[in-house]
Amino acid sequence: MPTSDTLTIRLPTATKKQLDKLAARVNRTKSYLAGEAISTYIARELQIVSGIERGLADMKRRRVVPHAEAMARLRASAVAKVPKK
């Protein structure tokens, strides 16, 4: 069973030239670099989407703090952690 699949994409010419240059400099294939870039992007975006979904769920359950209260808590916390001379 294959451990990877093939994907064909369109890139702006400038991006393709940059990919060619990078691949040559780091002695990796363009496919490898593109796959790494896509994997990293997807992982980061999924984390962002998950965070947004958690936030929306908290809002639906009314587990939120008004902005003014949150800022007051942060300020109080920052002041409490400032070392005294």
Domain ranges of the chain: 13-81
Query: pLDDT digit string (tens) for 6-43?
Result: 999 999 999 999 999 999 999 999 999 999 999 999 99
Which backbone phi and psi does 16 adopt, to 5 degrees? -60, -40
What is the band of 83 on the pLDDT scale with cuts at 50, 70, 90? Answer: confident
Q: Per the confidence metrics, is the pTM higher than 0.75?
A: no
Q: How far apart are the first and last CA of the chain?
A: 66
Q: Please tell me whether residue 29 adopts helix, strand or coil conformation.
A: coil
Tell me the C-alpha to C-alpha distance, in Å, between residue 37 and each of 2, 25, 49.
20, 16, 18
**Alpha-carbon span 27 to 17, nearest angstrom:** 15
**Alpha-carbon span 61 to 56, nearest angstrom:** 9
